[in-house]
């Protein structure tokens, strides 16, 4: 005779098997309708370009439409909160960038817990970061720049995309490592921050090394002091790395990744990750990303999860130490 406790455990085991089988079946049949990729920024930016590029390829692979939906506003909070509240069934994904790792720390009123409310599906890649100077700055090397800034604390200025923006945080990290102080001049976005530098309104900018920024350096509109990457950039071969100029701990990147609401079944997460990796391997995708200066860094969802948690911890500490608050 089966005891009540034994029967209870048997039923629990059956339920677990049924749940697991249902998840596998869900992954195998996915998707059977349109998938939405939420991009929490306006159209035209790097995240939007990546969303549309990868969405088209995934749609071709899946035989279902993949629609990019821009939900911008309040930095990236509106789109991020929308994606976090979606059903974790794989039909709402979010393509975003490293500001997600800092969102909760910078914006105390946000209704999103960036660690608990999302599943990390896969990393896409990153843009290197370059330290720039106004052409009128007398310093021509990183060593000269640091000496110039250290000699006059608070005299020189730097631009950013606003309080708590990633450009603001990059520069705060640079200030800590270089032991310098500069006056923060916030603008309404990364593009305006770059424009301010080449117009001579500010002295220093720590910015993504996208095509436009690289052109600023090669055309002489800005001085390139160092790239915060392990290797020099092919398109800026004369600009040294931060390690080469004595700052090995200053490693910065603007990374991009694919997320889903928390609770996404593991089998479904793994399928989406595998399909994302396959898309990233396609030669035309690699060629297009190279034109954006994007370094492809696809990998497992587990490696992306560990990377994100490390990024969240690193930047949360800097934000607290520097007393940074967003708008």
Q: Give the Cα-Cα-Cα angle 67, 70, 315 (nearest 5 degrees).
A: 120
State the DSSP H helix or E strand holding residue 286, giving kind and residue range, or none if neither: helix 283-291
109 has pLDDT over 90 = no
What are the DSSP calls for 99-111, one per residue? HHHHHHHH-TT-S
Distance CA 235, CA 175 (A): 26
Angstrom distances, CA of residue 224 to CA of 37, 52, 154, 220, 247:
35, 31, 21, 9, 15
What pLDDT is attached to residue 25? 56
14 has pLDDT over 60 = no
20 has pLDDT over 60 = no
The backbone torsions φ and ψ at residue 233, rounded to the nearest 5 degrees and listed phi first, read: -85, 140
Distance CA 65, CA 52 (A): 11
Structure-token match 């009123």, residue found = 109
What pLDDT is attached to residue 275? 98
Distance CA 178, CA 242 (A): 11
What are the DSSP calls for 265-279, one per residue? -HHHHHHHHHHHHHH
* pLDDT, mean of residues 204-211: 93
Residues 128-145 pLDDT 10s: 999 999 999 999 999 999
* Beta pairing, strands 35-39 & 295-296: unpaired
- Residue 324 pLDDT level (bands cut at 50, 70, 90): confident
Please state the length of the chain.
327
Of 20-29, 55-64, 227-236, which gets the smallest average pLDDT?
20-29
CB neighbourhood size of 275 (10 A)? 17
What pLDDT is attached to residue 73? 83
Residues 144-159 pLDDT 10s: 999 999 999 999 999 9
Structure-token match 């700052």, residue found = 247
Task: Give alpha helix (H) positions in 152-249.
Answer: 166-178, 190-198, 211-218
Lookup: tokens for 139: 């310093």
């Amino acid at each position: 005779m089966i005891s009540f406790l034994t029967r209870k455990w048997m039923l629990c085991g059956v339920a677990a098997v049924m749940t697991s089988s249902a998840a596998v079946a869900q992954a195998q049949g996915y998707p059977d309708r349109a998938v939405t990729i939420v991009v929490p920024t306006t159209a035209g930016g790097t995240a939007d370009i990546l969303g549309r590029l990868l969405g088209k390829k995934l749609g071709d692979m899946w035989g279902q439409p993949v629609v990019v939906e821009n939900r911008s506003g309040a930095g990236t909070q509106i789109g991020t909160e929308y994606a976090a509240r979606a059903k974790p069934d794989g039909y709402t994904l979010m393509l975003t960038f490293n500001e997600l790792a800092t969102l909760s720390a910078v914006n105390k009123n946000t209704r999103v817990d960036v660690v608990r409310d999302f599943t990390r599906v896969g990393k896409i890649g990153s843009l290197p970061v370059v330290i720039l100077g106004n052409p009128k700055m007398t310093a021509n090397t990183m060593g000269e720049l640091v000496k110039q800034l250290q000699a006059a604390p608070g005299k020189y200025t730097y631009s950013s995309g606003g309080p708590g923006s990633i450009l603001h945080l990059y520069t705060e990290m640079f200030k800590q490592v270089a032991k310098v102080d500069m006056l923060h001049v916030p603008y309404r976005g990364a593009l305006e921050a770059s424009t301010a530098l080449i117009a001579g309104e500010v002295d220093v900018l720590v910015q993504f090394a996208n095509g436009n920024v690289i052109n600023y350096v090669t055309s002489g509109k800005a001085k390139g002091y160092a790239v915060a990457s392990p290797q020099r950039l092919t398109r800026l071969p004369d600009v040294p790395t931060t390690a080469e100029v004595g700052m090995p701990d200053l490693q910065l990147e603007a990374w991009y990744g694919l997320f889903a609401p928390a609770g996404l079944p593991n089998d479904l997460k793994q399928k989406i990750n595998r399909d994302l990796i396959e898309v990233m391997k396609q030669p035309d995708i690699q060629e297009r990303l190279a034109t954006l200066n994007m370094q492809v860094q696809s990998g497992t969802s587990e490696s992306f999860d560990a990377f994100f948690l490390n990024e969240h911890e690193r930047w949360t500490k800097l934000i607290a130490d520097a007393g940074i608050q967003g708008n």
